[in-house]
Amino acid sequence: KRENHQRTVSKFLSLILRHQPGSIGLTLDAQGWADVPQLIKCAARHGVQLSMPLLREVVANNDKQRFTLDEENQRIRANQGHSVKVDLGFTPKTPPEFLYHGTASHTVESIRRHGLSPQSRLHVHLSATRDTARTVGARHGKPVVLTIKAGELAQSGHLFYLSENGVWLTENVPASAIYFP
Ligand code: HQG
């Protein structure tokens, strides 16, 4: 029961902190931070009861470490996955030779033609393991795991970033840098 509640709050936070802060009248700063007292007030007006202890619990127990709670400055933000334009201050990082992207079988033809692009998000999301990629792909349909020649891309000047919670991000992946199964 408690876990279910935490999952509901986590989903709510993902929606608000990544995609639709305005839907509850919240504003994020340029780095994606929301003021916690303001978040609690805005959420309450929309029927969602939050508190510092609850946020602490949800952030600490989150399976993917999706959020950072900065208690000292009373602010919170999502670690990745945004569609609203924020600057998370990522520094480029050299990726391993191969990274993986999980998608659904019905998108493979389009990716073959156009490569990977961020769609509604700010980045293309890549995983360090095939297993994680398969889970990501399964959210969209029958999962297909693509292998990305990350090392080669990086060598040719393509930038990669590693989010706080271990997700690899990049702006796009040309089809020529993808091994299709
Ligand atoms: C696909 C979850 C057609 C792409 C996960 C994907 C991840 C194309 C979909 C994070 C395409 C976008 C992100 C092209 C890309 N033609 N389809 N040219 N290029 N696509 O949800 O990577 O639980 O925005 O393959 O774990 O699935 O939210 O991205 O299927 O880390 O924390 O377009 O979301 O994390 O879908 O998932 P998404 P994603 P959280």
How far apart are the CA of 76 and the centre of ligand 1, in A?
A: 24
Decide if pLDDT at 132 tops 90: yes
- Phi and psi at 178, nearest 5°, equal -120, 130
Q: Please indicate whether residue 6, judged by its CB atom, sits closer than 6 Å to ligand 1.
A: no
Confidence of residue 2 (pLDDT cuts 50, 70, 90): confident
Confidence of residue 1 (pLDDT cuts 50, 70, 90): confident
The overall average pLDDT reported for the chain is: 97
Decide if pLDDT at 85 tops 90: yes
pLDDT in tens, 3-60: 899 999 999 999 999 999 999 999 999 999 999 999 999 999 999 999 999 999 999 9
- Phi and psi at 55, nearest 5°, equal -60, -45
Q: What is the mean pLDDT of residues 78-91?
A: 95
Q: Tell which residue, 117, 178, 119, 170, has the closest CA to residue 146.
A: 178
Mapped onto helix, strand or coil, the DSSP state of residue 178 is: strand
DSSP 85-118: -------B-PPPS-EEEEEEGGGHHHHHHH-B--
Q: Please indicate whether residue 122, judged by its CB atom, sits closer than 6 Å to ligand 1.
A: no
Tell if the pTM clears 0.95, that is, is over it: no
Q: Which residues of 32-50 are buried (b: 16+ CB within 10 A; e: fewer)?
A: bbbbbeebbebbeeeebeb
Q: Please, what is the angle between helix 52-61 and helix 2-14, to 10°?
A: 90
How far apart are the CA of 133 and the centre of ligand 1, in A?
A: 10
Q: What secondary structure, in 3-state letters, does 129-177 show?
A: CHHHHHHHHHCCCCEEEEEECHHHHHHCCCCEEECCCCCEEECCECHHH
Which pLDDT does position 74 carry in this prediction? Answer: 97
Q: What is the mean pLDDT of residues 113-141?
A: 97
